[in-house]
Amino acid sequence: MKRDEFFAKLKKSSRPVVVDLWAPWCGPCRAMEPGFKATGQKYAGKVEVLKINADESPDVLKALGVMGIPTVIAFSGDKEILRRTGMQSADMLDLLFDSALNRRKPDIVPPAPMDRLLRTGAGLFLLGIGWVYHQSWLLMALGALVIFSAFYDRCPVYRLVAPKILSLFRKTDG
């Protein structure tokens, strides 16, 4: 698919569009395929799916600023709603399709599993360094904050407060 053809399809579509950028040689792309297909069937008739082979459409990837595959992007019209790169779980695919259908980014987007792991490891490292070096409370607090950033989406207080705070920053039509 050519760049102009892709953007024309986005503009013409009366439904939201979820774009799957993949390649046949990509292991995570192939592993994600069954979940993507099931989620696509769940939203059939409500959300349009475009599958774009990265090897055949490099100009589309360049125009979208895609640096890695698999990448899944939810669009409403030609406006990007949500983007995720890397292998996505069935729950995250459902969130992407739902975001496209609702035409807005969700208030809370969970980090990818690898991000959780890296943030947790970095936070534990900072906690350890803070403890070893004369119990530096600043480093330990920073470590705790980094660990929290790995699991914020599961915190009930954050889930309650985040939408209210985000609504203060959203533009109102009026």
Q: Which residues have a catalytic role annotated?
A: 26, 29
The encoded tokens of residue 66 equal: 């895609």
Place of tokens 């203060």: 168
DSSP state of 153: G
The encoded tokens of residue 28 equal: 């995570």
* Cβ atoms of residues 103 and 76 within 8 Å: yes
Task: List the one residue out of 16, 79, 1 whose CA is nearest residue 46.
Answer: 16
150-153 own/partner pairs: CB under 8 Å, 24+ apart: 150/111, 150/115, 150/116, 150/117, 150/119, 150/120, 150/123, 151/116, 151/120, 152/108, 153/108, 153/109, 153/110, 153/111
